[in-house]
Structure 1
């Protein structure tokens, strides 16, 4: 490994993918600076659900490998939930059968079983998966990066070529649309409603087989997060009251006690979708090494550690 200034890396993007990539690089001995346009707690990642599952991400085979690599880490972090924000929680994956999971994850997810008709109205699967409290987890990642000698700088960039380091790692998510530029990156808008938890301890993810509408709820510390939507090419970050009402109604159809829960807030996040994740080496115009790590759709937290490890290896010249 090189030393000195040649060993410096700037990671651009302060969401979960950028933070995790910076952590892996710093803990491998690299001098790392993380550039983030918004404070870490105000990135798109901060409003994610966030259940570990490879949702809306391509290519499927690579995404599953990244997800399983990340699962190893989250299972370890779940031993310290108050610190890391990660817990292992049981819940129901609706419209999912054992055969869909057996080929890639069943051996890693003990306790998988089909739901009964009394437990869920359609085909479903009980699973114990990592559920991440994102504000807590992002703060923990930031602290871990600083502890490893990294630095966090709140600054915007107009182009990747202006980043002053021998190696640049692009984890800008939706920002890559302008910075690369890459017009294939597009938003998939997700709206959430946060309510007081009426005593729900398990999560559920459900998709209406006719309309395709989603309903999900995740018990997070001090709140219950309700979702959701997946609106392609929608840029508005403002919550829509009618959409919020529909989300509560769909979730209450699954658990009636949700109907009377007091609303604590509304959240909107724009998932950085792409036909396929871009995780590869490239070059800046002056020949410096550039590593792209973006386009993770709705699965950034699910694949963060697997992608970070691969990106860190690509960032070695």
Structure 2
């Protein structure tokens, strides 16, 4: 029986959005004082291997059509919409009008489920679709300022008693302390090679994005096609910054950026968004920066699973929670709810914190 007396009773390995969302779920159960997050990179860092700060970042229809992905999206949308309603300025999450367009027909079951919970959901008429498009919808999405949101999460978690430790670790047993009862493995792309995990289903999906200044861009725009994705995402509370993309390059682990990709992104996004074309007095977007990020993808979808971790002859609960690909921000909270549910019977009874 766990005593739950030490700071390292619950250890989360990884401080990307997936690990931070797990901590937030635990904090909302009144357990922040038992949680320690161990990671090489922490909110505020911009290291190439730290994926979360490079995200677009919004709720979109990019996820798969399997039951888990659809359920996590629904839970994540509810969570982010609540932040946009109650804590928008502090959390850097905003409710934003969105248009999403597909070159091919979208599975009807996915659209039906989306229509059940997305605010102001409507299907575009054929006359409203651009040339070459087969289907489109409009709804209220949520957009996030990814780096600022991560820093807000860290401050919120620390205020609730969560400890952050910057440390590079070689394997899972290295994060287990004398009082550790539960380890959440939220290591993203590292899952493919990390000792004790080494999941062959994991692979990076590269994307290049532009940070631009484009006053007047207020609508989120997405277009999905064969081998490409184009997006225009206004970044909330950022002095007119907009994120433009992008690419979905499977099994590409290249952190470099390329001018020909920048030009291609500008061409596609300005064709997609009239607001972008008309920004800066008709001059179009002003490029402020270019970056690439590696989405932590996994064949078959994300892994949320409890197993045993044997260290020094004693078993601890190990909960794997990784492989969200490009859906970490929108699915992460739903994944965290499932991850914490796997060890709920082990947790001490605490009052829920209503302030978060």
Q: Look up the match of 1:19.
A: 20
Q: Look up the match of 2:73.
A: 67
- Tell me which of 317, 323, 328 is aligned to 1:295: 323
8 Å CA contact retained: 1:14, 1:35 = yes
Residue 5 of structure 1, CA deviation: 3.6
Residue 213 of structure 1, CA deviation: 2.4
CA distance in 2, matches of 1:54, 1:170: 26
CA distance in 2, matches of 1:47, 1:91: 21
| Greater alpha carbon shift after TM alignment, 140-149 vs 249-258 | 249-258
Q: Is the alpha carbon distance of 1:104 and 1:116 closer, same or farther for their aligned partners in structure 2, counting shifts above 3 Å? A: closer
**Is residue 2:170 matched to residue 1:167?**
no
CA distance in 1, matches of 2:3, 2:116: 39
Q: Is the alpha carbon distance of 1:231 and 1:56 closer, same or farther for their aligned partners in structure 2, counting shifts above 3 Å? A: farther
Q: Secondary structure at the match of 1:149?
A: coil
Q: Secondary structure at the match of 2:80?
A: helix
CA distance in 1, matches of 2:107, 2:202: 32
Residue 311 of structure 1, CA deviation: 1.1
Q: Is the alpha carbon distance of 1:260 and 1:118 closer, same or farther for their aligned partners in structure 2, counting shifts above 3 Å? A: farther
The alignment's TM-score, normalised by the length of structure 1, stands at: 0.92
CA distance in 1, matches of 2:245, 2:91: 23
Q: Look up the match of 1:202.
A: 219
- Unaligned ranges ≥5, structure 1: none
Q: Is the alpha carbon distance of 1:7 and 1:252 closer, same or farther for their aligned partners in structure 2, counting shifts above 3 Å? A: closer
The alignment's TM-score, normalised by the length of structure 2, stands at: 0.82
Q: Secondary structure at the match of 1:156?
A: coil
CA distance in 1, matches of 2:111, 2:338: 25
* Paired residues for 1:159-308 under 5 Å: 159-164=171-176, 165-179=180-194, 180-208=197-225, 211-220=226-235, 221-222=238-239, 223-255=241-273, 256-257=277-278, 260-275=284-299, 276-286=301-311, 287-308=315-336
- Unaligned ranges ≥5, structure 2: 347-356
**Per-residue Cα deviation, 1:206-240 (whole angstroms, up to 9, x for no partner):** 124xx532211011132011000010111111111
Residue 2 of structure 1, CA deviation: 4.9
Q: Is the alpha carbon distance of 1:207 and 1:156 closer, same or farther for their aligned partners in structure 2, counting shifts above 3 Å? A: same
Q: Which has the larger radius of gyration?
A: 2
How many residues are paired up? 314
Q: Secondary structure at the match of 1:200?
A: coil
Q: Look up the match of 1:53.
A: 60
**Is residue 2:43 matched to residue 1:40?**
yes
Q: Look up the match of 1:113.
A: 122
CA distance in 2, matches of 1:100, 1:200: 31
Q: Secondary structure at the match of 1:128?
A: strand
